[in-house]
Amino acid sequence: MWRFGALVVAVGLAAACGRAPEARQYEVRGQILGIDRGRSEVLVDHEDIKGFMPAMTMPYKVNDPALLEGKKPGDLFTATLVVEDVNAYLSTLTTTGHAPLKAPAAGPLITASDLLQDGDVVPDHALVDQHGAARPIGALRGHRVALTFMYTRCPLPDFCPLMDRQFAAVQEEIRRSPDLRDVRLVSVTLDPDYDVPAILERHAKTLGAEAGRWYFLTGTPDEVLAFAKRFGVTAQRGDPNIGLVHNLRTAVIDAQGRLVTAYSGNMWTPAELVADLRKASAPAH
């Protein structure tokens, strides 16, 4: 498992009206840092992907597990990244050489002291919801909470849009389950300069978010990013023509406002999240 999950980059993306956008393909060059064969996933340090994202370290799925055969950390490679409407993966992965792995970059973006630990009370920050109402996380005390991070302009279908789809599925399970009626869903934008309440309100309506059940939060950049950092999430602007770079984390908070658990990346299912919500301390009746 990669500690902080996958990094995501936002680029401008025009949606075609009435039909799914065509798959896009990009050439990727870099070095393999790790392989998770069970997930058909490879962690790579890649160069700039022209027209898509800057150089970074992130995991990618492969569409055929056979692409990982014979590959090992340190291998240099070229690959084809395919970005579809609801999927993104490497369709080719070719070894071009081998080199010693680079030493980790000095100074982590997030230190151990920044991170909330299981059982810690989640601190309040000055956040507002999609209706412009003050909504610090403490305002949801007495409810079990599922919380994730996203932003409305994210172009990769298996990153922020996947978080939206997963939460929509969890919302449906909550509606069907009397024992989950106290649960609230919270999606925090990492792009507060653009994702103002009016934008988040439109986004919530698009997803069918139930009023009073699923909140979309924003705030000043300092407040949003300080809050995100407590969950191990970082976000920063890349090249002005590229956009936002961030990782993914999703958390469960109990009715007393304590962190129960957090998932890294996008490799969790609605069923797993619902199971952890059921195990979390519920409000007293």
Q: Which CATH architecture has domain 112-279?
A: 3-Layer(aba) Sandwich (3.40)
Report the distance separating Cα 1 and Cα 109, nearest Å: 18
Q: What is the pLDDT of residue 265?
A: 77
Asked if pLDDT for residue 107 goes beyond 50, the answer is no
Q: Specify whether the CB–CB gap between 128 and 216 falls below 8 A.
A: no
Report the distance separating Cα 233 and Cα 137, nearest Å: 16
Nearest to 260 by CA among 268, 252, 250: 252
Q: Specify whether the CB–CB gap between 151 and 233 falls below 8 A.
A: no
Confidence band of 16 (pLDDT split at 50, 70, 90) = very low
Overall pTM surpassing 0.85 (yes/no): no
Q: Where in the chain is the domain with CATH 2.40.50.320?
A: 8-98
Q: What is the pLDDT of residue 112?
A: 63
Q: Where in the chain is the domain with CATH 3.40.30.10?
A: 112-279
Q: Render pLDDT for 29-52 as a digit per residue (tens, 0 to 9).
A: 999 988 888 878 888 888 888 876
Q: Which residue has the tokens 């792995």?
A: 101
Annotate 75-95 with DSSP letters as a single string.
EEEEEEEEE-SS-EEEEEEEE
Confidence band of 10 (pLDDT split at 50, 70, 90) = very low
Q: What percent of the chain has pLDDT over 90?
A: 58
Q: Specify whether the CB–CB gap between 283 and 182 falls below 8 A.
A: yes
At the topology level, CATH places domain 8-98 in OB fold (Dihydrolipoamide Acetyltransferase, E2P) (2.40.50)
Q: What is the pLDDT of residue 240?
A: 47
Q: Are strands 56-61 and 24-36 parallel, antiparallel or unpaired?
A: unpaired
Three-state DSSP class for 181? coil
Q: Render pLDDT for 182-203 as a digit per residue (tens, 0 to 9).
A: 999 999 999 999 999 999 999 9
